[in-house]
Structure formats: C-alpha cells, structure tokens
Amino acid sequence: MEIGGADFIRGLALLGAGLAMGLGAIGPGVGEGFAAGKACEAIGRKPEEAGLLTRTMLVGQAVSESTGIYALVIALLLLYVV
C-alpha cells in the first residue's frame, strides 16, 4: 500500500478529529449529568424554588460544556480546514 505524504497527513488528521471529539465528550457528559442530578435533589427538597434552581443548573451546565465545545471546534477544524 503506497501512502503518499499528503494522504498520510489527511488520514491522521481525520483520525485525530475522531479522537478529539470522542474523548472530549466524556468529561462534560459526566459533569453535566451530575449537575442535573444535584439540581433534581435540590428541587425535591424545595419545589417552590424550581425556577431559580433550574436556571442555575442550565448556566452551570453551559459553562461545563465549554471544553466539549473546544473539542468540537478542533474536530471541525481538522475535518474542514487542515
């Protein structure tokens, strides 16, 4: 199997894109789930504060997502730009 230079680079770039998004999805997934779980507990304790608790959960989850989005950006760059 003859592998040329440009082909080799593109091939490994695609594999890298897959690894980036794959591994990058692990952390935010677990973290956001844990945050949602604790929000459910808090709402169970005080259902009348549901609005404030849901809002805080969403903001916290959005910030936790940041690294997952960086992984998405790198994966898209590797797919389309490199």
Distance of alpha carbon 76 from alpha carbon 17, whole angstroms: 7
**Using rule CB under 8 A, residue 7 touches other proteins:** yes
Q: Residue 61 contacts by C-beta under 8 Å, 6 or more apart in sequence? A: 32, 35, 36
CA 78 to chain centre: 16
Chain positions 42 to 81 lying near other proteins, rule: CB under 8 A, are 43-45, 47, 50-55, 57-59, 61-62, 65-66, 68-73, 75-76, 79
Enumerate binding residues for other proteins (CB under 8 A).
1-4, 7-8, 10-12, 14-19, 21-41, 43-45, 47, 50-55, 57-59, 61-62, 65-66, 68-73, 75-76, 79
